[in-house]
Amino acid sequence: MTWMTSDCRLPAPSFDAIAARYDFLNRVLSLGLDGKWRKKAVAALELLSSAASPARVLDLATGTGDLALAVARACPTAEVIGVDPSPRMLDRAREKAKAAGARIRFLDGAAESLPFSDGALDGATIAFGIRNVADRPRALAELGRVLRRGGRLVVLELGEPRRGPLAPFARFWVHVVVPLIGGWLARAPDEYRYLARSMARFPPPDAFACELREAGFTVEKVTPLVAGVAHLFVASRP
Is the pLDDT at 155 greater than 90? The verdict is: yes
3-state secondary structure (DSSP) of residue 1: coil
**pLDDT (tens digit, 9 = 90+) per residue, 24-35?**
767 766 778 889
Mean pLDDT, to the nearest integer, of 160-177?
A: 75
Closest CA relative to residue 121, chosen from 27, 70, 45, 186: 45
Look at residue 192 in the predicted model and tell me its pLDDT: 67
* Rounded-to-integer distance, Cα 51 and Cα 8, Å: 29
Q: Which domains does the chain have, with CATH numbers?
A: 32-159+203-236 (3.40.50.150)
Is the pLDDT at 113 greater than 60? The verdict is: yes
Look at residue 48 in the predicted model and tell me its pLDDT: 81
Contact 194, 128 (CB under 8 A): no
Look at residue 186 in the predicted model and tell me its pLDDT: 60
Closest CA relative to residue 180, chosen from 195, 199, 167, 198: 195
Residue 16 CB neighbour total at 10 angstroms = 15
Look at residue 172 in the predicted model and tell me its pLDDT: 79
